[in-house]
Structure 1
Amino acid sequence: MNLLVIGRGYPEVETGLIGIFEYEQAEAVSKYYNDSVKITYAFCDNRSIFRLRRFNSFSKQDRNLFTQGRYFPIGGFPTPVFNKIKSKLSITVLENAIKKHGKPDVIHIHFPIITLTEEIWDYLVSLNSKIILTEHYTRVQNKELTIQQINLLKKITIQADKFLCVNDVLPKIIEELTGVNREFIVVPNVVSSVFSNINEPNEDIYRFIALGRLVKVKRFDLVIDAFSKRFKDNPNIELIIAGDGEEYETLRAKVSSLNMENNIRLTGFLNREETAQLLGKSNAYVSASTVETFGVPVIEAMSCGKPVIVADTSPIKQYINNERGLLFKVNNVNDLADKMEIMYKQRFNYNHLDISEYAECNFSDEAVAKQLYSIYCDA
């Protein structure tokens, strides 16, 4: 099978890891179906010059996974100009990839509202390959699309051979936006095998951990407030917030104003290995995020055997039961505080190996690769 995967970019720390979800899915299929699938991963990264400072082509080979792409930062240009340039650049990348690696049997497009224009879509349809879409985009889930984007979404929803979503919320949203009633398949994101550090709970210090970009919608401020309400006077319980972002200084000042420097620590940016090590040394994971399409850090924590606390609006809630964690009322600091206290009191009731095995069965690279390969063959 010749497979063409289209993503937002090639994931590197220097470029903000854009493309990591789509690339890791392609990498997983490449790893487990090396003898039966040849994969080309293509991208055209057109973010603003303020976020992307590259003007070059990119190519790489890893086993049977070939990557070809182009960096050309034009984000912020007027939409007609942006779409015209993006279409030309993207089609050139795709034509070169096909010339080099052959016509695809199956085309898998991620984040279609970001990676496509109508001209790019029409070009792909003209290839007469089977086309599969995967929607991850928060703006789709929040219905924050322009009329032009809704029209594109409707067109591709009608014409695609398969439509995948990373959660069970997006299908209903897409139906409401487009008026199209069709079959959707839920396929989760891959969780890296790095996240498998399973340790029993600490006996001396109980550690809550929260991960992610430090931005307002992730509500790390709520986690800090909830933790302070219940554990301010307990030196044996701590909260670690790992990540970086625009809210870092604000959150640090908040911790200081609450006189919680001895109980709450902000680590700043950590790479995957460092994050996995810290998760392994923690007891429980907490997220107060109000906006997620999947929530990979939650699953990373579960892969390390940690019980989790998430908002009752999170798409991850479909994977949470009393054996794996707790749900709290979104944006409700008192309910979050209560759930953190309950988790601490029930800390010896969670089977960390069972939590990790559940994550392995549902979100590992092998599990997701098997699901994707079956979909590709079916298409």
Structure 2
Amino acid sequence: MKVLQINVVANSGSTGKISEKIGSLAIDKGWVSYIAYGRWYNPSRSTLIKIGNKFDILCHGFKSILCDKHGYGSHKATKKLISTIIKIQPDIIHLHNIHGYYLNFELLFKFLSTYGKPIIWTLHDCWSYTGHCVHYTAINCQKWKVQCDHCPHLLSYPIAITDNSNNNYQKKKTCFTNLKNLYIITVSEWLKKEVEQSFLKNYPILKINNGVDTKLFKPTSSNIREKLGITDKFIILSVATNWIKGKGLKDFINLAQRLNDTYRIILVGINKIQKVSLPPNIIGISKTENVHELIQLYSAADLYISFSIEETFGLTIIESMACGTPALVYDSTACRELINEKVGKVIKVKDLNSAIDFISKVKSLGKDFFSEACRNHILQHYTEEKTISNYISLYNQLLK
């Protein structure tokens, strides 16, 4: 059996690592695994297929920015990919993120509508059913339920200076609802309920949560406190790829101003401009893909906080709990699904008083009061093995 996955990256970032693990288990089961990707990659057990080149991505990016036509470029690259698919003849095609300036969705879905084998599409964000954005919770936009137009979120990824959201919405709706053999996977219950209100609602929609490698993410000894000179501080940690508006940077700054000198907040993923504006009790660390450094930070922290108001899952939250660290999250989008009263706290958005109350509780009881429950919670519900096994089981079911 052959499986082909398509994603913007290969064995890099959260979506790339998920596709890598799926491919690895498929290989272990005797399958042949291919991963087609558009941009960054790391070495893979699967056979990698590069889609396009840097020039294609650059041209596609300009078209997206100038005309709000994300997913309309990369014609030659997509045609070449289709030729490769015809040659390989995979038994299952598994889509992940098809946005990212590397793929023409009209050409791809026109081909897929004629391909008589199962197509799986894992949605890691909301781009597939909106006229522009990948998230809309921060601006409370509901236009995607009926018809996107006059987009209020053009300056969010994928950034555009003109508005083509009405046409984008219609084209996506036409292309993405023209398959008879498509199965939608969402990574959370929240995203599943959103998709069920979109134009994709008539497809089978299944939930498969993301998972964490619990053999890697586990309580680990660390000298991070010594390196940062905060051995006697209560450490609050948060991690983001990019600290965009919806991630809650301002909330952390406001929180820091209300905490005394016995606390330190560590924010990972901070850029140079943001770092200058941080108060003295916030330590800004640039983005890192060093997994071992992250594990040390998760393990050293007393509490993990996510002030994000738009998450389709919340991978860093379960990574921190796998390392024995309790978590506090906002009651928004998918984050609340990951928490119960034994492992952390869910509070209302912007309710810093409740945040401070829980911080005080953790400081009083001690992190160890929560650690075993956190670890067991992840082992029971959010292991990588469970996630990947669910995908392989789905492959087998569809082929039967």
Distance (Å, rounded) in 2 between the aligned partners of 1:365 and 1:304: 14
1:197 to 190, 201, 219: 219
In structure 2, the residue matched to 1:264 is 282
Structure 1 residues 33-70: Cα deviation after superposition (integer angstroms, max 9, x where no partner): 4133211111234xxxxxx9xxxxx8x8743x111113
Q: Secondary structure of the equivalent of 2:264?
A: strand
CA contact (8 A) 2:183 2:203 kept: no
CA contact (8 A) 1:227 1:340 kept: no
TM-score scaled by length of structure 2 = 0.76
Distance (Å, rounded) in 2 between the aligned partners of 1:94 and 1:320: 42
CA contact (8 A) 1:164 1:186 kept: yes
State whether structure 2 residue 247 is matched by structure 1 residue 218. Answer: yes
Within-5 A mapping of 1:330-341 = 330-341=349-360
In structure 1, the residue matched to 2:93 is 107
Structure 1 residues 91-120: Cα deviation after superposition (integer angstroms, max 9, x where no partner): 312423553xx2111111113466551221
TM-score scaled by length of structure 1 = 0.80
2:124 to 132, 136, 139: 136
Question: What one-letter code is carried by the residue in structure 1 that aligns with 2:207?
Answer: V
How has the CA–CA distance of structure 1 residues 153 and 187 changed in structure 2, closer, same or farther, with 3 Å as cutoff?
farther
CA contact (8 A) 2:10 2:17 kept: no
Q: Secondary structure of the equivalent of 2:395?
A: helix
Distance (Å, rounded) in 1 between the aligned partners of 2:44 and 2:200: 41
Structure 1 residues 118-161: Cα deviation after superposition (integer angstroms, max 9, x where no partner): 22111123231210111112435526763344332465256343
Q: Secondary structure of the equivalent of 1:299?
A: helix
In structure 1, the residue matched to 2:155 is none
Question: What one-letter code is carried by the residue in structure 2 that aligns with 1:242?
Answer: V
Distance (Å, rounded) in 2 between the aligned partners of 1:349 and 1:277: 16
How far off its partner does 1:353 sit?
2.9
Distance (Å, rounded) in 2 between the aligned partners of 1:68 and 1:29: 16
Give the structure, 1 or 2, with the largest relative contact order (CA under 8 Å, sep 6 or more).
1
Distance (Å, rounded) in 2 between the aligned partners of 1:363 and 1:282: 21
How far off its partner does 1:373 sit?
0.5
Which deviates more from structure 2 when the two are superposed, residues 78-87 or residues 281-290? Answer: 78-87
Distance (Å, rounded) in 1 between the aligned partners of 2:108 and 2:134: 19
Within-5 A mapping of 1:348-367 = 348=367, 350-367=369-386
How has the CA–CA distance of structure 1 residues 228 and 132 changed in structure 2, closer, same or farther, with 3 Å as cutoff?
same
Structure 1 residues 210-261: Cα deviation after superposition (integer angstroms, max 9, x where no partner): 11123332112212322431x31x43x3222222237523xx4340xxxxx2
Aligned length in residues = 345
Distance (Å, rounded) in 2 between the aligned partners of 1:85 and 1:239: 42
State whether structure 2 residue 15 is matched by structure 1 residue 30. Answer: no
1:68 to 28, 42, 49: 49
In structure 1, the residue matched to 2:364 is 345
CA contact (8 A) 2:78 2:107 kept: no
In structure 1, the residue matched to 2:158 is none
Distance (Å, rounded) in 1 between the aligned partners of 2:249 and 2:68: 38
In structure 2, the residue matched to 1:39 is 33
Question: What one-letter code is carried by the residue in structure 2 that aligns with 1:341?
Answer: S
> What stretches of structure 2 of length at least 5 have no aligned partner?
127-132, 137-141, 149-164, 226-230
State whether structure 2 residue 343 is matched by structure 1 residue 324. Answer: yes
Distance (Å, rounded) in 2 between the aligned partners of 1:128 and 1:150: 26
Question: What one-letter code is carried by the residue in structure 2 that aligns with 1:209?
Answer: L
> What stretches of structure 1 of length at least 5 have no aligned partner?
12-16, 46-51, 53-57, 256-260
Which deviates more from structure 2 when the two are superposed, residues 345-354 or residues 363-372? Answer: 345-354
Distance (Å, rounded) in 1 between the aligned partners of 2:69 and 2:277: 43
CA contact (8 A) 1:109 1:133 kept: yes
Distance (Å, rounded) in 2 between the aligned partners of 1:88 and 1:80: 20
CA contact (8 A) 1:23 1:41 kept: no
CA contact (8 A) 1:141 1:173 kept: no
CA contact (8 A) 2:318 2:338 kept: no
Within-5 A mapping of 1:36-185 = 36-45=30-39, 62-63=44-45, 65-69=46-50, 70-71=52-53, 72-73=56-57, 74=59, 75-77=61-63, 85-96=73-84, 98-99=86-87, 102-112=88-98, 115=103, 117-138=105-126, 139-142=133-136, 146-151=165-170, 152-153=172-173, 155-157=175-177, 159=179, 160-178=181-199, 180-185=201-206
Distance (Å, rounded) in 2 between the aligned partners of 1:31 and 1:228: 47
Question: What one-letter code is carried by the residue in structure 2 that aligns with 1:218?
Answer: K
Q: Secondary structure of the equivalent of 2:316?
A: helix
How has the CA–CA distance of structure 1 residues 272 and 287 changed in structure 2, closer, same or farther, with 3 Å as cutoff?
same
Distance (Å, rounded) in 1 between the aligned partners of 2:29 and 2:334: 35
CA contact (8 A) 2:120 2:185 kept: yes
Distance (Å, rounded) in 2 between the aligned partners of 1:241 and 1:162: 37
Question: What one-letter code is carried by the residue in structure 1 that aligns with 2:38?
Answer: C
Q: Secondary structure of the equivalent of 2:328?
A: strand
TM superposition outliers: structure 1 runs of 4+ over 4 Å: 78-84, 112-116
Question: What one-letter code is carried by the residue in structure 1 that aligns with 2:3?
Answer: L
How far off its partner does 1:281 sit?
1.3
How has the CA–CA distance of structure 1 residues 90 and 243 changed in structure 2, closer, same or farther, with 3 Å as cutoff?
same
Distance (Å, rounded) in 1 between the aligned partners of 2:338 and 2:5: 27
Distance (Å, rounded) in 2 between the aligned partners of 1:362 and 1:98: 38
